[in-house]
Amino acid sequence: MIWVTWAQHRREALVSGIILTVAAALLVITGLIMLADFQSSGAASCAPAAGPAVGVFNAGTSCEPVVGAFFSRWLTLTGAASLALMTLPLLLGVFIAAPLLSREFEQRTYLFAWSQSITSLRWAVVKLGLLGAAVLTSAAALTVLVMWWHSPLDRAFYDGP
């Protein structure tokens, strides 16, 4: 049943995989550039390793224009990235995931699957379980990557790691 699910959905898996890989590559590249800028512009030295947000408490000091300039350089990109990362799951869902299930019912192929020797319950559990696990794993990986990507900005302006 695992092979079956894979065989049936490998095309969608590949397309989603490529889209997610491209997104991840873009995040890694821009993230490294942003991190380098964070270090070289001096914004990093204004930010304590942990503790209160620098941007607020540096008001009036020499750090304020440095952190402000760093922030404004990356403002457009972070805005665009947030929007893209919010819409990406929606687009994947609408154009890849939804047809994946609706096609099975539209073409009545679930009847073909149910005509084999496995129960419809097991069919549904394995299929939805595997697809769900794939979605959750990629979503979790993407989340970790975005947290890393955004960390210079977090360190410059907000509480947190």
Partner 1 sequence: MSAALEAIALTKRYRTTPALTECSLRIPTGHVVALVGPNGAGKTTLLHLAMGFLNPTAGHIKVFGWSPQAQPTIVLPRVGFLAQDRPLYRRFKVRDLLEFGRRLNPRWDSELARLRLERLAIPLHRPVGKLSGGQEAQVALALTLAKKPDMLLLDEPLSNLDPLARREFMQVLMDAVAEEGLTVVLSSHIIADLERTCDYLVILAQGQVQLAGEIEGLLDSHRTLVGGPSDRALLERDTSVIHSSHTPRQTTMLVKLNGRPVAGQWEEHHVGLEELVLAYLSRPSGDSSAQPEPVEPARLQ
> Which residues make up the interface to partner 1 (CB under 8 A)?
1, 3-4, 7-8, 11, 107-109, 111-120
The pair of three-digit structure tokens given for residue 102, joined into one six-digit string: 């609706």
Q: Which is nearer to partner 1, 62 or 108 (CB)?
A: 108
Question: Residue 39 CB, nearest distance to partner 1 (Å)?
Answer: 50
Tokens of 138: 């990629």
Instruction: List, in order, residues 6 or more apart from 76 with CB less than 8 Å away.
Output: none
Helix intervals (H) in the chain:
2-40, 43-46, 54-57, 63-92, 98-106, 109-114, 120-157
Whose Cβ is closer to partner 1: residue 1's or residue 19's?
Answer: 1
Nearest CB to partner 1, comparing residues 57 and 110: 110
What minimum distance in Å lies between the beta carbon of 103 and partner 1?
A: 10
Burial of 65 from C-beta contacts in 10 A (0-12 / 13-18 / 19+): exposed
* Length of the chain (residues): 161
Nearer to partner 1, 12 or 64 (CB): 12
Taking the complex as a whole, the smallest distance from the CB of residue 42 to partner 1 amounts, in Å, to: 56
Shortest Cβ distance from residue 102 to partner 1 (Å)? Answer: 14
